[in-house]
Amino acid sequence: MRPAAVGFHCPEEGGAAASRRGGASRRPVTSLGGRAMMRRPGLVTQVLIGLCVVAYVLQGLPGLAGSGPDNAFTQDYSLYGPGIAFDDEYYRLLTAAFLHAGILHILFNMYALYLLGSQLEQILGRVRYLALFVVCAIGGNTLSYLVNGWSTFSVGASTAVFGFFAAYYVIARRLRADTSAILVIVGINLIITFTIARIDKWGHIGGLVVGLVVGAVYAYVPSRRGWVQAVAVGGVLAALLFAAVVRTSTLTLTSLSVFVQ
């Protein structure tokens, strides 16, 4: 059974009904546009986890050694404020989500990504789901850059994971499902976020907020109006990148004024 706008629908019954109407047999979809029966469920989630694992291996290769405790691969793709401000390396807003600071860090994030991601991917479909990951990752890292400026340094998929928490909550509310469990999980993770000093608090908050926005777009804009969803999500992404560019200009102007003085 699959959650629908009202109650639940059976994918097999939906396919049979379509055949009885004389139309071509099509794969049933969820009420939010995902395929009810995928040939390879969770494929995008598996690819994302694979990319994180590969990146983690590259982070540990001694042949890529750089200055300081992090190797050159980590330095080149982490969320690093001066790299964005001086060199316009805005790709860091996304690539930092695939890097991790330790074995426990990547294990926790990949476990959360697997649990939430597999479900969201089936409900939303692969394209919408991938867009959710990208925008939430960039959203969390952008807020971190806006707040921390020059001192920004962060890695981890938790920006996207927090976005998944929020989107899952909004979608569950839309489908009239019980949301108490996800609220408890979000609460526990927020407590952890604000009690451990090294965690990027603003990155988590940014991912959570963007996840709420994008989740609301997917939940309340009908899936048949895919172009409206695409424009809305694209607008969120454009606003985030614009905010990052504005932050860069303020940082460079500030440093220039200090140099002139």
For all residues of the chain together, what is the average pLDDT? Answer: 85
Residue 224's pLDDT band, with cuts at 50, 70 and 90, is confident
pLDDT at 177 over 60: yes
Q: Which residues are catalytic?
A: 158, 204
pLDDT tens per residue, range 66-122: 555 678 889 999 999 999 999 999 999 999 999 999 899 999 999 999 999 999 999
**Contacting residues for 51 by C-beta, under 8 A, at least 6 apart:** 98
pLDDT digits (tens, 9 = 90+) for 30-80: 667 666 556 777 899 999 999 999 999 999 875 555 555 678 889 999 999
The CATH code for residues 42-260 is 1.20.1540.10
**Domain parsing of the chain, residue ranges:** 1-31, 42-260
Helices (H), the chain: 11-20, 43-59, 72-77, 81-87, 92-95, 103-124, 126-148, 158-174, 180-195, 201-220, 226-260
At residue 3 the predicted structure's pLDDT band, cuts being 50, 70 and 90, is low
How high is the pLDDT of residue 60? 82
Q: Which residues are within 8 A (CB) of 128 and not within 5 positions of it... i.e. 6 or more apart?
A: 32, 33, 34, 218, 229
